[in-house]
């Protein structure tokens, strides 16, 4: 058996070459078939060499997408509960303190050093600090240097595991990345997203349509738009209610341990 995530396209080809089952392991709320079609169109040399006319279908698609966000054209054959793993970590001190105003988490994930988004992070820090919130910035100290001096209500959290930080927050502002999106889903908090690449457009669109997020198109992105979206979410309780509904759906799904029998039946 070969188990690989949706972007690891070679996993399906290895399984086909070995004539063993391929299991597609979802890592977020969806995967775009477009990636497979672009990489392996009709008569692609890799497919021809394996005697295939199209990209292989998985024997099982293990899908962590909650039911309310499922696309009709992309059903998972078995849904499971997403679980973040960040190694050994402890709760940050600020996350254990009682807050007197809403707490907002700002992160641009692991792509910040190479994405050119540092000026955006600086601008968002300055603008979001104008809201009556406690602003937590999940970014390492090196990338945080241009942010100083910081307003009083701003905390630089470092590279904190989001599954520990987000449950202590009321709202997240982020780039729509896979891990960040799923961390927000499991924490049950609404988000403001500005997706810029690949399948994250689809993640953000679905969350926006469900009413658990506000998506800002990257070509329309500005600090003012982010500020307005944050204000909308913090003043409209339906966003939090919808996010908590999705979190309950995630929590109700079987764990991977409970899903092992699905894979054992393939062998």
Is 253 within 8 Å of 80 (Cβ atoms)? Answer: yes
In degrees, rounded to 5, the angle at the alpha carbon of residue 186 between the alpha carbons of residues 181 and 187 is 95
Q: At residue 112, what are phi and psi to the nearest 5 degrees?
A: -55, -45
Which domains are seen in the chain, by residue range? 2-84+254-264 (3.40.50.2000), 93-251 (3.40.50.2000)
Q: What is the pLDDT of residue 32?
A: 62
Q: What is the pLDDT of residue 143?
A: 73
**Cα–Cα distances in angstroms (integers) from residue 122 to residues 126, 163, 244, in the given order:** 6, 24, 30
Confidence of residue 137 (pLDDT cuts 50, 70, 90): confident
* Mean pLDDT taken over the chain: 85
Q: What is the pLDDT of residue 150?
A: 80
Is 40 within 8 Å of 46 (Cβ atoms)? Answer: yes
Compute the average pLDDT of residues 184-195. 93
Confidence of residue 31 (pLDDT cuts 50, 70, 90): low
Q: What percent of the chain lies above the pLDDT cut of 70?
A: 89
Compute the average pLDDT of residues 195-199. 74
Report how far residue 26's alpha carbon sits from residue 205's, in angstroms, rounded to the nearest whole number.
18
SS3 204: helix
H-helix or E-strand spanning residue 183 = helix 178-187
Per-residue model confidence as pLDDT tens digits over 85-96: 777 778 888 888
Confidence of residue 114 (pLDDT cuts 50, 70, 90): very low
Residue 71 has pLDDT above 50, yes or no: yes
Q: Before 149, cis peptide (omega within 30)?
A: yes
Q: What is the pLDDT of residue 34?
A: 59
Residue 182 has pLDDT above 70, yes or no: yes
Residue 11 has pLDDT above 50, yes or no: yes
Round to the nearest angstrom and report the end-to-end CA distance of the chain: 7
């Amino acid at each position: 058996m070969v188990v690989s995530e949706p972007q690891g396209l070679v996993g399906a080809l290895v399984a086909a070459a070995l004539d063993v089952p391929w299991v597609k392991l979802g890592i977020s709320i969806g995967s775009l078939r477009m990636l497979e079609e672009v990489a392996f169109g009709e008569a692609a040399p890799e497919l021809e060499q394996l005697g295939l006319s199209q990209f292989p279908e998985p024997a099982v698609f293990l899908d962590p997408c909650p039911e309310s966000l499922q696309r009709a054209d992309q059903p998972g054959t078995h849904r499971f509960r997403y679980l973040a793993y960040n190694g050994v970590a402890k709760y940050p001190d600020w996350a254990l303190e009682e807050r007197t105003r809403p707490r907002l988490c700002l992160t641009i994930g692991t792509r910040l050093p190479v994405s050119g988004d540092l000026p955006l992070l600086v601008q968002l820090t300055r603008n979001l600090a104008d809201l009556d919130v406690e602003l937590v910035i999940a970014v390492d100290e090196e990338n945080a240097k241009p942010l100083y001096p910081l307003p009083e209500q701003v905390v630089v959290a470092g590279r904190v595991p989001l599954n520990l930080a987000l449950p202590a927050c009321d709202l997240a502002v982020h780039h729509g990345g896979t891990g960040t999106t799923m961390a927000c889903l499991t924490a049950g908090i609404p988000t403001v997203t500005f997706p810029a690449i690949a399948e994250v457009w689809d993640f953000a669109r679905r969350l926006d349509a469900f009413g658990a997020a506000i998506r800002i198109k990257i070509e329309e992105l500005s600090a003012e738009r982010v500020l307005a979206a944050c204000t909308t979410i913090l003043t409209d309780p339906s966003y939090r209610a919808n996010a908590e509904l999705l979190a309950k759906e995630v929590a109700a799904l079987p764990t991977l341990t409970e899903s092992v029998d699905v894979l054992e039946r393939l062998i």
